[in-house]
Amino acid sequence: MTAAPMRPATAVPILMYHNIARAPRKLPRLRSLYVSPGAFARQMWLLRRLGYTGLSMAAAMPYLRGERQGRVAVVTLDDGYADNLEAALPVLARHGFSATCYVVSGHIGQYNAWDAERLGVRKPMMSVAQLRQWQQGGMEVGAHTRSHPRLTRCTDTQLREETGGSKRELEDLLGQPVTQFCYPWGDADDRVANAAQEAGYDAATTTHRGRALPGMDLWQLPRIQVARHHVLAQFAMKTLSGYEDRRA
93-136 pLDDT per residue, tens: 999 999 999 999 999 999 999 999 888 889 999 999 999 999 99
pLDDT of residue 7: 44
Query: What is the CA 154 to chain-centroid distance, rounded?
Result: 22
Instruction: Report the alpha-carbon distance of residue 43 to residue 45 in Å, rounded.
Output: 5
> Residue 156's domain is classified under what CATH number?
3.20.20.370
- Give domain status of residue 138, yes or no: yes
Instruction: Give the pLDDT confidence of 61-99 residue by residue, as tens digits.
Output: 999 999 999 999 999 999 999 999 999 999 999 999 999
Query: What is the CA 105 to chain-centroid distance, rounded?
Result: 15
DSSP state letter for 177? -
Helix (H) or strand (E) holding 239: helix 232-240
- Give domain status of residue 18, yes or no: yes
- Give domain status of residue 203, yes or no: yes
Q: Which residue has the higher pLDDT, 32 or 205?
A: 205
Instruction: Report the alpha-carbon distance of residue 133 to residue 117 in Å, rounded.
Output: 29
- Give domain status of residue 231, yes or no: yes
Residue type, 133: Q
- Give domain status of residue 9, yes or no: no
Instruction: Report the alpha-carbon distance of residue 65 to residue 75 in Å, rounded.
Output: 17
Place 49 in a pLDDT band, splitting at 50, 70 and 90: very high
Mean confidence (pLDDT) of the chain: 94
Reference 15, options 242, 243, 247, 235; nearest CA is 235
Expressed as residue numbers, the domain containing 22 is: 14-246
Q: What is the pTM of this model?
A: 0.95
Pairing of strands 72-79, 203-209: unpaired
What is the tally of structural domains in the chain?
1
